[in-house]
Amino acid sequence: MTLSTVGIDAISLSTPRAFLELADLAAKRGVPVEKYTSGLGAVRMAIAGPGEDPVTLATDAAARVIERAGIDPESIGMCAVGTETGIDHSKPVASYVHGLLDLPPSCRVFDTKHACFGGTAALMAACEWIASGAARGRRALVVCTDIARYALGSPGEPTQGAGAVAMIVSERPRLLEIELGRSGRYARDVHDFWRPLNRRDALVDGHFSVACYLDAFTGAFDEWRREEERRGGGDPLARVVYHVPYPKMAKKADRQRAKLEGLDDAAADARFAREVAPSLAFSAEVGNIYTGSLYMAVASLLHAEASALVGTRIGLFSYGSGCGAELFAARVAEGAGGFARELALDEPLRDRVRLGFDRYEAIRRADAEETPRAGVLDESLPCDRTAFLGIDAAERRVYRRARPASGTARIAPRASIVAAA
């Protein structure tokens, strides 16, 4: 591999318009709210409504990162989407994103899948493509997009969420330089969480999934430490960012790290508050967004502390059920503080709408249908963002994209896209 500085140049989120207060869910389910707020560490969860799907969330996050970071779309030579919320057996979400954003035809376009690890698989493919020299100076757009759904009334219900994270990957990144070739990996064939083809909601063996996550962390951490020792060590990690199905899971994982390092519980708690908690704020508001959860935590950390962390090394732990995991490190780039402020990473979390409980249940029930009826397009959907209008008579998905900045309609030259009214 050609050695060069490669990593996350810019990052942005998108979330659905609506969220459910977990206090409202707790009241209806007859559960003390502390179980959700303290036991799971979560406060709200984003709920995808009519017109929102993995494509619209991905497109809005990608449009935002391109615009905010001042990226020339012509410089993008790879468009990779990590997702586990399938919309088609063949056509990738990445193709829709590529079309809706009018990215250049000379572009490698594909989806990656391995539960929540799928986003990291795409990110690593992009970094290694650039580091190898094969990119010939071009950038990659990597998007993680998902809708987390569990059955109504099930233990997984308070850990739902929806959203996307888009990242520009480039040489000389402005946010995080990723250390390639030194990660720790772990994989094992388990059934901790799965999404059968005939279902919209995930199936999960909840407590077993927590144990699998911790085993995977142990395996990846062991290999990462061996590699660190082999190379004579590096700076200690100033922060560790975890995959966050719910914030308490990151605490459990960090406890596991402390145990492996021989730290007592009091020292572990103090370190957690300093080194992990700042990355959990966005997750507590949005819930689990599967592939994007780790990168939403990265955005949360950079939003809170990028200036203070310039030059330091942070650890990133990615877990995907099934299972596969990777622990790797990245260095916070010079100037990341000011640039993170320009990216306004928390903007999509402002101005959301609180859903009433009955509306939430109605949305989830309607959503449980496997596929929308062909030939029914909903042109009345709001046009301030990308919208999924439905499926046409030939069973093609139809989208409409508006330019958020000007509010004016944009007609993209693809059969599956229609103009805003």
Strand partners, 242: 317
3 state DSSP class of 190: coil
Instruction: Please select the residue that binds ligand HMG; options are 207, 231, 341, 365, rule is CB under 6 A.
Output: 207
Q: Which residues fall within 8 angstroms of residue 141, CB to CB, at 6 or more apart?
A: 62, 65, 66, 76, 78, 79, 80, 97, 103, 166, 167, 168, 169
Q: Is 127 a catalytic residue?
A: no
The answer to whether the CB of 391 falls within 8 A of the CB of 400 is no
The window from 22-30, 68-76, 238-246, 404-412 that contacts ligand HMG (CB under 6 A) reads: 238-246
- Where helices occur in 85-205 by DSSP H, the ranges are 93-100, 118-131
Our CB check for ligand HMG shows the closer of 179 and 201 to be 201
Part of the chain binding ligand HMG (CB under 6 A), chosen from 97-105, 316-324, 364-372, 404-412? 316-324
> Which residue among 116, 127, 144, 383 is the active-site one?
116
Q: Which of residues 182-201 bind ligand HMG (CB under 6 A)?
A: 192-193
319 near ligand HMG, judged by CB under 6 A: yes
Binding to ligand HMG in span 67-86, by CB under 6 A: 84
CA distance 46 to 161: 5
Closest approach of ligand HMG to the CB of residue 14, in Å = 19
Query: Any contact of residue 321 with ligand HMG (CB under 6 A)?
Result: yes
Shortest Å distance, C-beta 154 to ligand HMG: 7
Question: Does 384 engage in binding with ligand HMG (CB under 6 A)?
Answer: no
How many chain residues are in contact with ligand HMG, going by CB under 6 A?
Answer: 30
* CB of 8 vs ligand HMG, minimal distance in Å: 21
How many of the other CB atoms lie within 10 Å of CB of 390? Answer: 19
3-state secondary structure of 7: strand
Q: How far is the CB of 112 from ligand HMG (least distance, A)?
A: 13
Which of the stretches 73-81, 272-280, 315-323, 407-415 binds ligand HMG when contact is defined by CB under 6 A?
A: 315-323
**Residue 214 binds to ligand HMG (criterion: CB under 6 A):** no
Under rule CB under 6 A, residue 116 binds ligand HMG: yes
Per rule CB under 6 A, is residue 213 in the interface with ligand HMG?
yes
What's the burial of 123, exposed, middle or buried (CB within 10 Å: 0-12/13-18/19+)?
Answer: buried
CA gap 381, 51 in Å, rounded: 7
- Of the candidates 21, 52, 84, 179, the residue annotated as catalytic is 84
Q: Does 54 bind ligand HMG (CB under 6 A)?
A: no
Q: Is 38 in the site for ligand HMG (CB under 6 A)?
A: yes
CB of 239 to ligand HMG, least distance (A): 20
Residues 130-159 that bind ligand HMG (CB under 6 A): 155-156, 159
Residue 238 and residue 279 in contact, taking contact as beta carbons nearer than 8 Å:
no
Is 89 a residue of the active site? no
Among 1, 4, 35, 308, binds ligand HMG (CB under 6 A): 35
116 is catalytic: yes
- Residue nearest ligand HMG (C-beta atom): 39
- Give how far Cα 412 sits from Cα of 99, 102, 398, 419, Å: 8, 7, 12, 7
Question: Alpha helix (H) ranges present in 118-244?
Answer: 118-131, 206-230
**Contact between 420 and ligand HMG per CB under 6 A:** no
Backbone angles phi, psi at 288, to 5 degrees: -80, 125
Helical residues (DSSP H) of 188-246, grouped into ranges: 206-230
What is the smallest separation between the CB atom of 362 and ligand HMG, expressed in angstroms? Answer: 23
Within 8 A by CB and 6+ apart from 267, the residues are 258
Shortest Å, Cβ 85 to ligand HMG: 10
Q: How far apart are the first and last CA of the chain?
A: 49
Task: Name which of 53, 47, 135 is nearest 86 in CA terms.
Answer: 53
- Binding string, 332-371, against ligand HMG, x = CB under 6 A? ----------------------------------------
Question: What is each CA distance from 272 to 187, 275, 362, 364, 380, in whole angstroms?
Answer: 26, 5, 38, 35, 47
Residue with tokens 């559960």: 31
Amino acid of residue 319: Y
Please give the positions annotated as active site: 84, 116, 243
Residues that bind ligand HMG (CB under 6 A): 32, 34-35, 38-40, 84, 115-116, 155-156, 159, 192-193, 204, 206-207, 209-210, 213, 243, 245-246, 248-249, 288, 290, 319-321
